[in-house]
Amino acid sequence: MKILAVGWNYLEHNKELEHREVPSEPVIFMKPETALLRENKPFFLPDFSTDVQYELEVVVRISKMGKNISEKFAPRYYDAYGLGVDFTARDLQRKFKEQGGPWELCKGFDNSAPVSEFIPKEELGDLSSLSFHLDLNGTTVQRGNTKDMIFNVDAIVSYVSRFFTLKTGDLIFTGTPVGVGPVKIGDRLEGYLEDRKMLDFRVE
Ligand code: MG
Domain ranges of the chain: 3-202
Ligand 1 center–CA 10 separation, angstroms: 10
Q: What is the pTM of this model?
A: 0.96
Ligand 1 center–CA 9 separation, angstroms: 8
Q: Report the pLDDT value the prediction gives residue 122, as an integer from 0 to 100.
A: 96
Ligand 1 center–CA 176 separation, angstroms: 5
d(Cα 107, Cα 75) in Å, to the nearest integer? 27
Q: Report the pLDDT value the prediction gives residue 149, as an integer from 0 to 100.
A: 96
Ligand 1 center–CA 72 separation, angstroms: 25
Ligand 1 center–CA 87 separation, angstroms: 8
d(Cα 117, Cα 105) in Å, to the nearest integer? 26
- The CATH class given to the 3-202 domain equals alpha beta
Q: What percent of the chain has pLDDT over 70?
A: 99
Q: Write the pLDDT tens digit of every residue in 108-147.
A: 999 999 999 999 999 999 999 999 999 999 999 999 999 9
Ligand 1 center–CA 73 separation, angstroms: 25
Burial of 81 (0-12, 13-18, 19+ CB in 10 A): buried
Q: Report the pLDDT value the prediction gives residue 66, as an integer from 0 to 100.
A: 98
